Amino acid sequence: MNRRTVLAGLGVTGLASLSGCLGLVGLDKHESSPAGVTAAAREETGYEQTAIEPLTVEREVGPTNEAVTVTNYMTTHEKAVDMGLLGRQRGAVFNVLTTPQVSILGRELNPIKEMSTQELVTLVRQNYDGIGNIEHQADTDVTLLDQSTTQSRFTADAEFSGQDVSVNVHITEAVEANEDLLVTIGVYPEYIQRFEESNITALTEAVTTDVDENPSSAGSDSDPSDTESITDSTSVDELNNTTSVNGTVNVSVKTESGDDLLG
Task: Give the tens place of pLDDT for each residue, 13-57.
Answer: 544 444 444 443 455 678 899 999 999 999 999 999 999 999 887
Task: Give the tens place of pLDDT for each residue, 83-116.
Answer: 777 788 888 999 999 998 877 656 667 788 889 9
Q: For the chain, how long is the longest CA-to-CA vector?
A: 61
Percentage, residues of the chain above pLDDT 90: 43
In angstroms, rounded to a whole number, what is the distance separating the alpha carbons of residues 126 and 123? Answer: 5
Question: Once rounded to an integer, what is the mean pLDDT over residues 69-78?
Answer: 90
In angstroms, rounded to a whole number, what is the distance separating the alpha carbons of residues 56 and 60? Answer: 14
CA 159 to chain centre: 17
CB neighbour burial string for 162-189, b if at least 16 within 10 angstroms, e if fewer: ebebbbbbbbbbbbebeebbbbbbbbbb
Domains parsed from the chain with CATH numbers: 32-51+74-208 (3.40.1000)
Main-chain phi, psi angles of 10, to 5 degrees = -55, -45
In angstroms, rounded to a whole number, what is the distance separating the alpha carbons of residues 57 and 245? Answer: 22
| pLDDT score for 71 | 86
Name residues whose C-beta falls within 8 Å of residue 214's C-beta, 6 or more positions apart in sequence: none
Are 211 and 132 a contacting pair, CB within 8 Å? no
Neighbours of 142 (CB within 10 A): 20
In angstroms, rounded to a whole number, what is the distance separating the alpha carbons of residues 48 and 203? Answer: 11
**Range of weakest confidence among 54-68, 153-167, 197-211:** 54-68
In angstroms, rounded to a whole number, what is the distance separating the alpha carbons of residues 3 and 8? Answer: 9
Task: Give the tens place of pLDDT for each residue, 128-184.
Answer: 767 889 999 999 999 999 999 999 999 999 887 778 889 999 999 999 999 999 999
In angstroms, rounded to a whole number, what is the distance separating the alpha carbons of residues 145 and 230? Answer: 31
Q: Kindly tell me the sign of the dihedral angle through the C-alpha atoms of 158, 160, 161, 163.
A: negative
Q: What is the pTM of this model?
A: 0.77
